[in-house]
């Protein structure tokens, strides 16, 4: 999986992989019809900072996560990769914590930490023993209050990020497939379709003024969500949050650019040759319904039905029946998160590495046969029920793993994009509203071939036709 992770410890990396899930009156979580019941307290500080508290006392751990409403989707033009570059700068020191001191503070107290850059946010989290909650809140506030942005730090991290691009993309088989290739081919709006890992020339040309302007626009309390989950006392946490975050000055909110995409009316196909790959590959993606709509939740179930697990329909057809490949990957926002943690145009995709004796056209034809089955008649209700069971199991796994970071991620996403973190308790109920007829309607509209983008990855063949 290619996510923009900063690997400060093995445990932190594992956590992220497990996750690949004036004060106001606190909002009360709506009573769910069934399933998930997460305590949620939600309020805002006078400076605009959104605060979500969710206690859980099964282990003496606390997770503090800060999500900034700036991802690579809206980074500056001619500065591709800048959102990711700035993520690195966040660990280069602040007013009271010098270079690497934030990392040492967390790890010396038995904690782990990490950060990542995604389509619509950049996040930072740390998990520490519960009795260090105040320490962790203070340290994260120190970074929000102001970074030590110097030319030395910028130059150093430009080199680090540039090397990541070379190692993880340019010199890696399947390096950009399909997580960069597919959005660049599918979308027409620059904000959704540019090379978000970054062109080397853009990363190298970023200036100190660029970095300081970026911080002043986006790394401000009115553009962020602070989430605290785990074993903590709510009254104490509220007091510390007001003490350390309440007097951080706010800035005028930066308006989001237009991220809309036109309705796709014609299938798109692009191909390229990967000189390092040993087998060819194919990916195909479909533009998603708008977030939060009934069709959006229907696509969540279609994702489970078609792609997720060895009982999925495309796994059965492409792996077990046709032997095109040993595995099928994909989903909604695949490789960079889940169906809840984005806020703009998105793709549902299917991707696979296949044997050279098969053509992409053969594979697509077989996939079409399966998809047409969803389009031509309502699915069996039992198939929907199985999909919900899989989703429910995944959600519970996410929320109970590793000090509650998965829970923090969901809460932050609902707060950041919907201003309703309590929506976490409505997830299962929203999926249960999906009917066989809605599945069929959604498949007809969003899985049509004219809404599809195909990326074909070819391999180089040796002279004479051998590999």
Does residue 62 register a pLDDT over 80? yes
Does residue 251 register a pLDDT over 60? yes
Q: Mind giving me the DSSP string for 56-86?
A: --SSSEEEEEEEES--GGGPPTT-TTHHHHH
Residues 6+ apart with CB under 8 A from 376: 440
Is 268-459 the same fold as 10-245?
Answer: yes
pTM to 2 decimals?
A: 0.90
The residue among 443, 452, 420, 436 whose CA lies nearest residue 372 is 443
- The per-residue pLDDT for 15 is 37
Mean pLDDT of 311-316: 97
pLDDT tens profile 137-154: 999 999 999 899 999 999
- The per-residue pLDDT for 255 is 87
- The per-residue pLDDT for 435 is 96
What is the residue-averaged pLDDT of the chain? 90
Q: Higher-confidence residue: 48 or 26?
A: 48
Mean pLDDT of 51-58: 93
Q: Mind giving me the DSSP string for 300-317?
A: HHHHHHHTSSTTSHHHII
The residue among 232, 229, 193, 212 whose CA lies nearest residue 154 is 212
pLDDT tens profile 421-460: 999 999 999 999 999 999 999 999 999 999 999 999 999 8
The sign of the CA dihedral 372, 378, 381, 382 is: negative
Q: Which CATH superfamily is domain 268-459 in?
A: Metalloenzyme, LuxS/M16 peptidase-like (3.30.830.10)
- The per-residue pLDDT for 282 is 98
The fraction of the chain above a pLDDT of 70, given in percent, is 91
CATH topology of domain 10-245: Cytochrome Bc1 Complex; Chain A, domain 1 (3.30.830)
Tokens 């099964």 found at: 58
- The per-residue pLDDT for 466 is 47
pLDDT tens profile 391-419: 988 888 877 766 678 899 999 999 999 99
Does residue 30 register a pLDDT over 60? no
The residue among 109, 107, 113, 58 whose CA lies nearest residue 401 is 58
Does residue 370 register a pLDDT over 60? yes
């Amino acid at each position: 999986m290619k996510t923009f992770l900063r690997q400060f410890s093995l445990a932190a990396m594992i956590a992220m992989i497990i996750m690949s899930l004036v004060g106001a009156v606190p909002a009360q979580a709506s009573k769910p019809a069934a399933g998930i019941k997460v305590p949620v307290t939600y309020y805002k500080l006078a400076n605009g900072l959104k605060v979500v508290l969710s206690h859980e006392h099964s282990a003496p751990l606390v997770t503090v996560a800060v999500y900034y409403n700036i991802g690579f989707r809206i980074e500056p033009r001619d500065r591709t990769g800048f959102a990711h570059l700035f993520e690195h700068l966040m660990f280069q020191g602040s007013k009271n914590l010098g270079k690497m001191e934030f990392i040492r503070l967390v790890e010396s107290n038995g904690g782990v930490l990490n950060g990542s850059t995604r389509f619509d946010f950049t996040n930072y989290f740390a998990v520490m023993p519960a009795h260090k909650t105040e320490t962790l809140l203070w340290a994260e506030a120190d970074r929000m209050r102001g970074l030590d942005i110097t030319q030395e730090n910028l130059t150093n991290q430009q080199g680090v990020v540039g090397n990541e691009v070379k190692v993880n993309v340019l010199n890696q088989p399947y390096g950009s497939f399909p997580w960069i290739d597919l959005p660049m081919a599918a979308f027409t709006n620059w904000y959704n379709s540019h090379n978000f890992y970054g062109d080397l020339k853009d990363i190298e040309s970023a200036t100190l003024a660029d970095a300081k302007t970026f911080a002043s626009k986006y790394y401000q309390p009115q553009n962020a969500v602070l989430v605290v989950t785990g074993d903590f006392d709510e009254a104490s946490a509220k007091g510390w949050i007001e003490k350390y975050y309440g007097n951080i000055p706010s800035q005028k909110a930066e308006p989001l650019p237009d991220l809309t995409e036109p309705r796709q009316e014609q299938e798109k196909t692009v191909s390229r040759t990967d000189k390092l790959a040993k087998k060819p590959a194919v990916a195909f993606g479909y533009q998603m319904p708008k977030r939060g709509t009934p069709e959006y939740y229907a696509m969540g179930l279609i994702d489970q039905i078609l792609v997720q697990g060895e009982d999925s329909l495309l796994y059965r057809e492409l792996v077990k029946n046709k032997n095109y490949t040993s595995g099928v990957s994909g989903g909604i926002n695949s490789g960079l998160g889940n169906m809840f943690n984005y806020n703009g145009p998105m793709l549902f995709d299917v991707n696979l590495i296949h044997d050279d004796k098969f053509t992409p056209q053969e594979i697509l034809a077989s996939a079409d046969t399966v998809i047409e089955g969803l389009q031509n008649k309502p699915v069996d209700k039992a198939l929907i029920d199985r999909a919900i069971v899989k989703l429910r199991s995944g959600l519970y796994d996410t929320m109970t793993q590793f000090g509650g970071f998965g829970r923090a991620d969901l809460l932050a996403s609902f707060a950041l994009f919907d201003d309703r973190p309590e929506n976490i308790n409505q997830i299962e109920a929203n999926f249960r509203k999906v009917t066989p007829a809605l599945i069929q309607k959604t498949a007809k509209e969003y899985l049509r071939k004219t809404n599809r983008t195909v990326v074909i990855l070819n391999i180089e063949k040796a002279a004479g036709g051998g590999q």
